[in-house]
Chain A
Amino acid sequence: MKNRVRIAAGQGFWGDWPEAPYRQVTGGPIDYLMMDYLAEVTMSILQKQKVRDPERGYATDFVQQMERILPVVVQRGIKVTANAGGVNPHGCAAAVTAAARRLGLAGKLRIGVVTGDDLLGRLDALIARGHDLRNMDTGRPLRDIRDRVLSANAYLGAWPLVRALRDGADVVITGRVTDTGLTLAPLIHAFDWREDAWDLLAAGTVAGHIIECGAQASGGNSLVDWPRVPDLANVGYPIVDARPDGTFEIVKHPRTGGRISVAGVTEQLVYEMGDPREYITPDCVADFTTIALRQAGKDRVRVAGIKGGPATDKLKVSVAYAYGYKAVGTLVYAWPEALKKAQDADRILRRRLADLKLAFEAIHTEFVGATATHGRLAAADAREAPEVQLRIGVRGPDKAAVDRFTRELAPLILNGPPSVTGFAAGRPKPEEIVAYWPALLDKRLVEPKVEVIAV
């Protein structure tokens, strides 16, 4: 058994910095590269792609990134965990296999594929057997929107990835696996942690939470003392340097920018937090009020003391469904009285929508540069703004009404308040809303599948 394992964050979301994975595998020694691709609504976008083309439905960027780093990964014996498989992990694995063969790596790589999270084909059977899949926020049963469902996936935890690693996988590609599971699995595998070692599993989960958003733990998007974060152009993504007892340090490669500090890691710990005593994952329940942080050196934060409890008997399920349509348009008004002009334009536009008898679920107006993000709290600062962007959006079930709204913005340039500009992008497009429906399902109803394929 190893007594130190280094897990590096390569991507914090789909669309993160394309340079990060290469820098992580070449900038210094690491054992694992963890890449997180799936946000709540990503699965539905991928599902739509798969309906159009059965070969697709996964994060294609991952394949390009793997093509670039695979020679180094194989040479240095680095293993990769990624939930890039989306709704088509086998398609993703096939694409990575083809890339590996192009690079002459046939026979030198094994790819693990984790599936079993996709519930779309089982929904009717589950509902018929009395599993309501009630919305965790509203309590409504899924049958209310069954005909509009686009994708449904259970969040799997770390253990299926552990099986793939134990079976010799070098690259593990999954569908909907929790962000934290991608980091916890290598730790369980490397240190042989037991299934009921709750404190250790909680520690690995916290490690995963710290690095799952990439550079947000190493100086990016960090409010504390932000102007003095060094060299963000060359930011080093975070690395977990872990020990078998569940303690670990957050570090980054030498000669990289950014900053790893107690204050910055604390910001990441509270990100997207609910009740800190119960951070629930499929693997355990971590208690964030037990985490002890200490600056152990420059760009080195030591994390210890973490306690956890048994996992629940449920898995979270993420359902995506067609909700309706929306469109958002903008116009920019300039000094003098920029805000008053934008407010006047908003009144005129709303009056015209009412006169047209267009019904919407919501009309939402913001004055960007004045009160868009801080509302009335910023009102005093907003009066003398040199320019204000009127940003107005509508949402509703009727696509035609939303489309009609998009034709009411441009006319305001010549038939509304003065000093208006910024319409170069043209008429906004009505957009389909794919909404997110969180639910719970008994764990025993979900059977993860693990395969390991030689390239």
Chain B
Amino acid sequence: MKVRLLDIAHARSGDKGDTANVGVIARKAEYYPVLVRQLTAARVARHFRGMIKGNVERFELPNLRALNFLLHGALDGGGTISLKTDAQGKVLSTALLRLEIDLPRKQR
């Protein structure tokens, strides 16, 4: 079954210079392995294609059932240089939550 990432995860994002971070947190423990499998750095990079200039890195936090993504070159220079409304990437988290996930039947 196709679901939105929003349905199985929540997220918060922030900035370090021109890099935005998006922390994605599984709403239930059984969703975390689904995130690990499907929410790869390559998939996230594809999702944001044309919107960020650099690469995407992924880190795993199984203890918090969370994944942390670094989106490099996401903020038009970041901080005070950026001309973006979202110069600090505060709502890039919600942009990621639009992504579609294929939820296995047993985990619904």
> Which one, B61, B91, B94, contacts A289 given CB within 8 A?
B61
Which residue in chain B gives the minimum CB-CB distance to A41? B80
Chain B CB within 8 A of A411 CB? no
Asked if A223 and B11 make an inter-chain contact with CB atoms under 8 angstroms apart, the answer reads yes
The secondary-structure label for the interface of chain A is mixed
Inter-chain contacts of B25 with A (CB < 8 A):
224, 263, 266-267, 270
Asked if A268 and B12 make an inter-chain contact with CB atoms under 8 angstroms apart, the answer reads yes
Asked if B80 and A435 make an inter-chain contact with CB atoms under 8 angstroms apart, the answer reads yes
Which residue in chain B gives the minimum CB-CB distance to A395? B83
Asked if B51 and A223 make an inter-chain contact with CB atoms under 8 angstroms apart, the answer reads no
Asked if A366 and B85 make an inter-chain contact with CB atoms under 8 angstroms apart, the answer reads yes
Inter-chain contacts of B91 with A (CB < 8 A):
373-374
Which residue in chain A gives the minimum CB-CB distance to B50? A376
Asked if A274 and B16 make an inter-chain contact with CB atoms under 8 angstroms apart, the answer reads yes
Inter-chain contacts of A40 with B (CB < 8 A):
79
Chain B CB within 8 A of A1 CB? no
Asked if B64 and A272 make an inter-chain contact with CB atoms under 8 angstroms apart, the answer reads no
Chain B CB within 8 A of A434 CB? yes
Decide yes or no: A270 and B81 within 8 Å by CB, A292-B63, A364-B76, A373-B95 being known contacts.
no
Asked if A272 and B10 make an inter-chain contact with CB atoms under 8 angstroms apart, the answer reads no
Chain A CB within 8 A of B33 CB? no
Bound complex: CA A323 to CA B82 (Å): 12
Interface residues on B, range: 35 or more
Per-residue CB contact flags for chain A residues 4-43 toward chain B (1 = under 8 Å, else 0) read 0000000000000000000000000000000000001100
Chain B CB within 8 A of A291 CB? yes
Decide yes or no: A274 and B12 within 8 Å by CB, A373-B85, A373-B86 being known contacts.
no
Asked if B81 and A433 make an inter-chain contact with CB atoms under 8 angstroms apart, the answer reads yes
Asked if B51 and A376 make an inter-chain contact with CB atoms under 8 angstroms apart, the answer reads yes
Inter-chain contacts of B68 with A (CB < 8 A):
270, 273-274, 276
Which residue in chain A gives the minimum CB-CB distance to B59? A276
Which residue in chain B gives the minimum CB-CB distance to A224? B10
Decide yes or no: A290 and B80 within 8 Å by CB, A263-B10, A391-B85 being known contacts.
no
Bound complex: CA A41 to CA B79 (Å): 8
Q: How far is the CB of B11 from chain A (nearest CB, A)?
A: 7
Q: How far is the CB of A237 from chain B (nearest CB, A)?
A: 18
Asked if B98 and A270 make an inter-chain contact with CB atoms under 8 angstroms apart, the answer reads no
Inter-chain contacts of A364 with B (CB < 8 A):
76, 83-84
Inter-chain contacts of A277 with B (CB < 8 A):
59
- Docked complex: A197-237 residues within 8 A CB-CB of B: 221, 223-224
Bound complex: CA A58 to CA B94 (Å): 35
> Which one, B23, B63, B70, contacts A271 given CB within 8 A?
B23
Bound complex: CA A374 to CA B18 (Å): 17
- Docked complex: B20-45 residues within 8 A CB-CB of A: 21, 23, 25, 27
Chain B CB within 8 A of A362 CB? yes
Asked if A272 and B21 make an inter-chain contact with CB atoms under 8 angstroms apart, the answer reads yes
Chain B CB within 8 A of A288 CB? yes
Inter-chain contacts of A182 with B (CB < 8 A):
none
The contact sample of 23 A-B pairs, CB cut-off 8 A, is A223-B11, A266-B66, A267-B11, A267-B12, A270-B11, A270-B64, A270-B66, A271-B12, A272-B15, A273-B59, A274-B16, A274-B21, A288-B61, A288-B64, A289-B61, A290-B63, A292-B63, A374-B91, A394-B83, A395-B83, A433-B80, A435-B80, A436-B79
Bound complex: CA A364 to CA B86 (Å): 12
Decide yes or no: A289 and B10 within 8 Å by CB, A372-B85, A393-B83, A436-B79 being known contacts.
no
Asked if A436 and B85 make an inter-chain contact with CB atoms under 8 angstroms apart, the answer reads no
Knowing that A276-B61, A293-B64 touch, tell me 15 more A-B residue pairs with CB under 8 angstroms: A137-B17, A270-B61, A272-B15, A272-B21, A276-B59, A288-B61, A292-B63, A326-B81, A326-B83, A364-B84, A372-B86, A373-B85, A373-B95, A378-B95, A435-B79
Chain B CB within 8 A of A328 CB? yes
Asked if B84 and A272 make an inter-chain contact with CB atoms under 8 angstroms apart, the answer reads no
Q: How far is the CB of A18 from chain B (nearest CB, A)?
A: 22
Which residue in chain B gives the minimum CB-CB distance to A136? B17
Asked if B81 and A435 make an inter-chain contact with CB atoms under 8 angstroms apart, the answer reads yes
Inter-chain contacts of A268 with B (CB < 8 A):
12
Asked if B63 and A273 make an inter-chain contact with CB atoms under 8 angstroms apart, the answer reads no
Chain B CB within 8 A of A313 CB? no
Q: Identify the interface centre among A268, A276, A305, A376: most chain B CB within 10 Å of its CB.
A: A276
Asked if B81 and A137 make an inter-chain contact with CB atoms under 8 angstroms apart, the answer reads no
Q: How far is the CB of B60 from chain A (nearest CB, A)?
A: 8
Decide yes or no: A374 and B95 within 8 Å by CB, A263-B10, A274-B21 being known contacts.
yes
Bound complex: CA A292 to CA B81 (Å): 37
Asked if A289 and B21 make an inter-chain contact with CB atoms under 8 angstroms apart, the answer reads no
Asked if A368 and B85 make an inter-chain contact with CB atoms under 8 angstroms apart, the answer reads yes
Q: How far is the CB of B54 from chain A (nearest CB, A)?
A: 10
Q: How far is the CB of B16 from chain A (nearest CB, A)?
A: 6
Chain B CB within 8 A of A334 CB? no
Bound complex: CA A364 to CA B75 (Å): 12
Which residue in chain B gives the minimum CB-CB distance to A436? B79
Q: How far is the CB of B107 from chain A (nearest CB, A)?
A: 18
Bound complex: CA A164 to CA B21 (Å): 35
Bound complex: CA A270 to CA B15 (Å): 11
Asked if B86 and A375 make an inter-chain contact with CB atoms under 8 angstroms apart, the answer reads no
Q: How far is the CB of A155 from chain B (nearest CB, A)?
A: 13
Inter-chain contacts of B86 with A (CB < 8 A):
372-373
